[in-house]
Structure 1
Amino acid sequence: MAPVQVNARDWTFLIRDPAVQDPASASYWVEIGGITSMEISPDAEDVDTTTFASKGAAEHQIMQRSLEITLEGRYLEDATGKRDKGQELVEKLADQLGEASLGQLRVVRPSGRKRDHIVSAKLGEVSGENNDKTAWSVTLTRSGASVEVA
């Protein structure tokens, strides 16, 4: 089958609920709701390896790779104040320090392929104007290598 263009809305972002210990449980991974925009931004840090022997041609090697995933969307809450479980788990992760500041994120592509990441979370502004729905955002920064899930 030939590759086709992929709808951005068909990507799924799941946060692991640290309170659930059984990976077979349906609540082990929780979808982050309300997403309207996503950006997956890989980056690399390189080192200059140019020497006199390079004869004026720049040389380098990549020494480190990084990844940030930014999710933007709508702040979700019901009439009783209960939040979207995925947004709530991300917000709890964003409040943590040290080892506790790292959680697990699963990114599911429209094809169903999955990739797991250890991430920290930095919340963006909760914002909106008079006739807007309230905006919500988070930047998730990978720590270590990602793992393709079978």
Structure 2
Amino acid sequence: MKTKSIKKDKVNIITLGCSKNLVDSENIMTQLRGNDFEVSHEKENSDANVVIINTCGFIDLAKQESIDTIVTYADVKKAGGIDKLYVTGCLSQRYKDDLETEIPEVDAFFGTMEIPALLARLEADYKYELLGERDITTLPHYAYLKISEG
């Protein structure tokens, strides 16, 4: 008897803003890989069908970069280039209601403390045994340590 395997989504995580966002993105990547997802961390030219944008909501220039990136990927989604678009991070947390109204192409918005909810939306389990594990995206001789939110 043949068994049908369910193909997991390929997820690309785009990190904008501060090093705290980078740590959050690395933790999301670790959790997704722990759930057998294929994951990339590229600002452009990914062949992923799901995009997660981790945003900054404090510095004006970074806020604008976050909004521009969301709008760019909303257009990509409208054109059929990706299936799902999720936004997380500080901008999403601070301006969720406004963003939902202005950019309805985004499938869901998540705050900085909602990684388990984001994973659940992707039908992935939050694996507590992976706490302390992290996909490091920086050069091998250094990594960031997150000590606070916001």
What TM bracket, shorter-length normalisation?
under 0.3
Which structure has the larger Rg over C-alpha atoms?
1
Give the structure with the higher percent helix. 2
TM-score (norm 1): 0.25
TM-score (norm 2): 0.25
Give the structure with the higher percent strand. 1
